Amino acid sequence: MKLKSTIFIMIAMFIMNVHAVTKTITTKDFIVHYEDYTEKYAKASLKILTVVKTSAIKMGFSFPKKIELRIVKSNKTILYVRGDNPNLIMWEFQSLNDFLAPKESKHNNVYALCHEMGHVSMGNITPHYYWMTSDYDEGWGNYFGSLMIENVYKQLGLKAWPNQHDYQKSTGIKGFIKSLQSEKFKKHPSFTYCSLFWYNLSERIGKNNICNFVISLKTSNINNTNCEMKYVDILKMYKVDSKFIEDFKKNKNYLLNTTSK
Ligand SMILES: [Zn+2]
């Protein structure tokens, strides 16, 4: 009996694998791999990534020649940039349900794609270094993702995602500010500060100067032991007001790992 059911499972798995055909779309800037039955989501993702890349280039960011997105069936649902390959966005999904609008799927997929492009854009200048906290990275991804939602909405409208929903209202810049003021985020002061840090810095130096700011950090040879000093120097170089700098000094441990590892 046991053997019979094992054989049955093996046959079922074989049939599933035969039917799951991996397809690829290649454009000038992207390579998207996906299971054929997720095609409409792969195509929608490609359009969104293209808008984000064009918008980020206007802010001064540069990107690797080809960015890869792999949409693969898995036993978990997660979207992330691969640590060993900063040009590769992995989207592991469990079922087609994961691609639906947030109400059904509980996932903000349009925002998540924009957020991951934030990691690709920052990672192309300053990959995750020991002097940054993970909230430094995630706060950036949060701010950049919300900012890019505005561009996606402007260019693709509500039709950006096959299962239409108002992603701009919930995850655009207004939604970003609103969510950071909510009770939920009050429990995460580090992530909240880091998200608002990027927003407030952009408000002061201009969002088209953020890329230059990050390049300045990189060329300053910033490291674990000098990061606070270097950061303050560069904030001053960009003529950020003293109140912002004082606030930064108070909260620096949310952004920076000042001890050497
Ligand atoms: Zn992230």
Write out pLDDT tens, residues 93-112: 999 999 999 999 999 999 99
Contact of 61 with 211, CB cutoff 8 Å: yes
Tell me, what's the pLDDT at 64?
A: 84
195-213 average pLDDT score: 97
> What's the CA-to-centroid distance between 141 and ligand 1, angstroms?
5
Shared domain check, 144 and 247: yes
Tell me, what's the pLDDT at 56?
A: 97
162-189 average pLDDT score: 93
| Confidence bin at 1 (pLDDT 50/70/90) | very low
Half-sphere exposure of 87 (CA within 13 A, CB side): 12
Shared domain check, 238 and 151: yes
161-175 average pLDDT score: 97
Q: Is residue 2 predicted with pLDDT exceeding 90?
A: no
207 inside domain: yes
Tell me, what's the pLDDT at 12?
A: 53
67 inside domain: yes
Instruction: List beta partners, residue 90.
Output: 70, 80
Host domain of residue 162: 140-255
199-205 average pLDDT score: 98
229 inside domain: yes
Of 58, 93, 109, the residue that ends a domain is 109
135 inside domain: no
> What's the CA-to-centroid distance between 132 and ligand 1, angstroms?
14
Of 67, 86, 109, the residue that ends a domain is 109
pLDDT digits (tens, 9 = 90+) for 55-108: 999 999 999 889 999 999 999 999 999 888 889 999 999 999 999 999 999 999
Number of structural domains found in the chain: 2
Tell me, what's the pLDDT at 185?
A: 83
Q: Is residue 14 predicted with pLDDT exceeding 70?
A: no
**DSSP string for residues in 186-217:** HT-HHHHHHHHHHHHHHHHH-GGGHHHHHHHH
Q: Which pTM does this prediction carry?
A: 0.91
Shared domain check, 25 and 94: yes
- CA dist 222 and 230 (Å) reads 6
Of 63, 91, 109, the residue that ends a domain is 109
Strands 22-26 and 78-81: unpaired
> What's the CA-to-centroid distance between 2 and ligand 1, angstroms?
44
41 inside domain: yes
> What's the CA-to-centroid distance between 259 and ligand 1, angstroms?
23
Tell me, what's the pLDDT at 261?
A: 46
| Confidence bin at 258 (pLDDT 50/70/90) | confident
Q: The CATH number of the domain where 39 resides is what? A: 3.30.2010
pLDDT digits (tens, 9 = 90+) for 128-159: 788 999 999 999 999 999 999 999 999 999 99
> What's the CA-to-centroid distance between 9 and ligand 1, angstroms?
37
> What's the CA-to-centroid distance between 78 and ligand 1, angstroms?
11
> What's the CA-to-centroid distance between 250 and ligand 1, angstroms?
24
Mean pLDDT of the chain: 92
Contact of 12 with 30, CB cutoff 8 Å: no
Higher pLDDT, 64 or 206: 206
> What's the CA-to-centroid distance between 65 and ligand 1, angstroms?
22
Contact of 141 with 115, CB cutoff 8 Å: yes
Q: Is residue 184 predicted with pLDDT exceeding 90?
A: no
| Sign of the Cα pseudo-torsion (123, 101, 192, 181, in order) | positive
> What's the CA-to-centroid distance between 91 and ligand 1, angstroms?
13
Residue linked to tokens 């960009």: 238
Cα 149 to chain centroid, rounded: 11
> What's the CA-to-centroid distance between 138 and ligand 1, angstroms?
5
- CA dist 89 and 118 (Å) reads 11
Alpha carbon of 146 to those of 52, 155, 188, 216: distances in Å?
A: 11, 15, 18, 24
Q: Is residue 241 predicted with pLDDT exceeding 90?
A: yes
> What's the CA-to-centroid distance between 117 and ligand 1, angstroms?
9
SS3 157: helix
